[in-house]
Amino acid sequence: MLLVVFDLSGTLVAHGDHGIFPRPFSHELMQFLCDAHDADKLRFATWTSRQTAMALKMTRAVFSPEAYKRLLFTYDRSKCLIHPTIRHKSAKDLRVIWSNYETFNITNTIIVDDTIDKILYSQRRALYIIPTWEETSKNDQCLLELLNHIKYRIDTE
């Protein structure tokens, strides 16, 4: 079983002046996540450093109702380490996940994030760095590449 944890802003959505926009191919990603979840091959979740209300808006903007129901957890800023000496002032310590979900560890967790220096206690295999998406980038295909990567990881798990 593989766990994929998605960052939201810049990763799955763009938060611009005109609203919150899902990244291209998010529909395909949602369909794939639901299918893999129901085949018992995958669990997925979100972790954003935004506050709860914005986190919910962003999650609702990109996750289909079917995919939303299957989210293992939705972590927000309250689960981050907040400290002025941390570069982005907030950090995601992966051990928070592993202490709550014993099935998962460094070998079977992937964190998908556009600001990877926010991640603590990780290793290369657990990181999927995705270029930051902005709503003006209409031809972005990064979610298709990500989908293929997740497929590969499921097959080699």
Give the interface with Mg ion as residue ranges (CB under 5 A): 7, 9-10, 114
Phi, psi of 101 (to 5 degrees): -130, 95
> Which residue lies nearest Mg ion, judged by its C-beta?
10
Phi, psi of 120 (to 5 degrees): -110, 150
State which residue, 9 or 122, has the beta carbon closest to Mg ion. Answer: 9
State which residue, 37 or 128, has the beta carbon closest to Mg ion. Answer: 128
* Strands (E) located in the chain: 2-6, 13-16, 19-22, 42-47, 74-75, 81-82, 90-93, 109-113, 119-120, 127-129
| Token couple for 67 | 């995919």
State which residue, 14 or 42, has the beta carbon closest to Mg ion. Answer: 14
The distance of closest approach from Cβ of residue 9 to Mg ion in the complex, given in angstroms and rounded to an integer, is 4
State which residue, 81 or 154, has the beta carbon closest to Mg ion. Answer: 81
Per DSSP, 9 falls in state B
Decide: 43 and 37 in contact? Cβ < 8 Å: yes
The distance of closest approach from Cβ of residue 8 to Mg ion in the complex, given in angstroms and rounded to an integer, is 7
The distance of closest approach from Cβ of residue 16 to Mg ion in the complex, given in angstroms and rounded to an integer, is 14
State which residue, 10 or 22, has the beta carbon closest to Mg ion. Answer: 10
The distance of closest approach from Cβ of residue 24 to Mg ion in the complex, given in angstroms and rounded to an integer, is 17
For the chain, what's the residue count?
157
The distance of closest approach from Cβ of residue 146 to Mg ion in the complex, given in angstroms and rounded to an integer, is 14
